[in-house]
A = this chain, B = another copy of it.
Amino acid sequence: MKAKQKEVDDWIKLHKAGYFKPLEIMTHITEEVGELARELNHLYGQKKKKDSEDIKELADEISDVMFILICLANSHGIDLDESFSRVMDKCYGRDKDRYKKK
């Protein structure tokens, strides 16, 4: 993630006056998650056909959410590799009861 966080930061520095304010970023996250939901409704709602182009669009929507999450992390000086590891560790413990091991 470090490389991606740097890439986003470089882009922001080149193109914008700085990161949005936190609640603006949050509202963008909600907007992008909405677009992801639309894509999944398109794929799995009433009609069932999906082709490779749809999967590519799904991938792009997921990445759009990633991008804006990284903006939120960067604007708070968060190291996502570190916190992702922490969450994975927590998961092993936390989810012991929720999911049965195979």
Identify whether the interface residues of A are mostly helix, strand, loop, or mixed. Answer: helix
From 36 to 80 in chain A, residues with beta carbon under 8 angstroms from any chain B beta carbon are: 36-38, 40-41, 43-46, 55-56, 58-60, 62-67, 69, 72-73, 76-80
A contacts with B, residue count (CB < 8 A): 67
Report which of B14, B43, B63 forms a contact with A80, defined as CB distance below 8 A. B63
Q: B37 near A59 (CB under 8 angstroms)?
A: no
Chain A to chain B: the 10 pairs with minimum beta-carbon distance, closest first: A34-B34, A59-B83, A30-B37, A23-B23, A63-B87, A31-B37, A59-B78, A63-B83, A63-B84, A31-B38
Q: A58 near B44 (CB under 8 angstroms)?
A: no
Say how far A93's CB is from chain B's closest CB, in angstroms: 12
Which residues of B have CB within 8 Å of A36? 26, 29
A62-B80, A65-B69, A83-B62 as given contacts; A30 in contact with B34, CB under 8 Å = yes
